[in-house]
Chain A
Amino acid sequence: MSEMVSGSLVLSGVLFTIGVLGVMIRRHPVVIFMCIELMLNAANVALVAFNQQHYSNQWPALDGQVYAFMVIAIAAAEVAIGLAIIVALFKRREWIDVDEINLLRG
């Protein structure tokens, strides 16, 4: 495993962990969404690094890059829906706290 690939895996883990920390300690819903985006990006870094590791002329597989492509598309859809929910919540009240959003609680 080349140094850059292993380093990219470590970077992916670090970025994902920072995203998890942000989801746990931040309470602003938009910032929490940003942290989720950071986690998706960290996963993409790992996918591309694995692709680089396992690519060869005998077997020119590009599955990792294709998966990262799909992750980006799904992240775009997720951001659209999530921000629409946040907009709908901001319309109802001045301030929203993620701990206070319990409309869907059964």
Chain B
Amino acid sequence: MGWWLMAAIAVVCAIGMLSSRNPVHSALWLVGNFMAIAVIFLLLSASVLFAIQLIVYAGAIMVLFLFVVMFFMSPRLRRWMRPALKGQLVLGGLLVIAFLLLLLWGAFGSAFGTVIGEPSGARESLVAAATDTAVGMGDPRPLGNWLFSYHVLPFELTSVLLLIAMVGALMVARDIRSEGRDRLPDTAPVVRPEDAGEEVQA
């Protein structure tokens, strides 16, 4: 069965990401994990999320990770797995097992499956649209209808959030000291006359 294969690949890739010493290897393991999760989305009849997962996660975000790792990492550093505390691995493992049991209990042991509240309101048009055209759940049209019928404001706020994140990332990562000139070798700081005064308006 395809689902079991994909779940096994996802778990194996996650463990491989966790246990590989080189961050580049971790990133490659994570790409495999994302692809397996994308196929699981497809099996759960979420074909739009399948595409978005491949494009955004396995494409854009992993490129960003590899970019940072390859630009700023010295490959000789080998301190990545040295634990800071004594017994950190054992303690972390025990805590994680307890956390997994808690998660599974929350999903299956408690009052799972009880409907808390049925959404109210007359939404026959959507129901009719979904049943008349006889489209399946994986069709992108119902997802678009649903997104822009009930979640317009979060969608627009997401665009604002992305803009803020872009500006913030530029502000955080820029190098103020060497702005406007080439980087000098690490010698005594050269104070040019135009730097002594006020900040030059670009």
Residues of B within 8 A of A (CB): 3-4, 7, 10-11, 14-15, 17-18, 23, 26-27, 30, 33-34, 37, 40-41, 43-46, 48-49, 52-53, 56-57, 60-61, 64-65, 68-69, 71-74, 77, 79-84, 88-89, 92-93, 95-96, 99-100, 103-104, 107-108, 113, 119, 126-127, 130-131, 137, 142-143, 146-147, 150-151, 154-155, 158, 161-162, 164-166, 168-170, 172-173, 175
Contact = CB atoms under 8 A, between A and B. Distances in A.
Interface string A61-102: 111011011101111111111011111101100110101000
A94 to B, nearest CB: 7
Given A15-B14, A22-B18, A74-B158, A31 B56 contact: no
Interface of A: 1, 4-11, 13-22, 24-28, 30-31, 33-35, 37-38, 41, 44-45, 48-49, 51-52, 55, 57-63, 65-66, 68-70, 72-81, 83-88, 90-91, 94-95, 97, 99
A13 B172 CA distance: 34
Contacts of A25: 18, 81, 83, 88-89, 92
A51 B72 contact: no
A81 B146 CA distance: 30
A61 B172 contact: no
A16 B150 CA distance: 29
A15 B88 contact: no
A79 B131 contact: no
Given A62-B143, A65-B143, A66-B151, A73 B161 contact: yes
Given A1-B113, A26-B18, A34-B30, A66 B37 contact: no
B18 A65 contact: no
B96 A68 contact: no
19 contacts: A10-B104, A18-B14, A21-B18, A26-B81, A34-B23, A34-B27, A51-B46, A52-B44, A60-B126, A60-B146, A61-B146, A62-B142, A70-B158, A73-B162, A76-B60, A77-B161, A80-B166, A85-B172, A88-B172
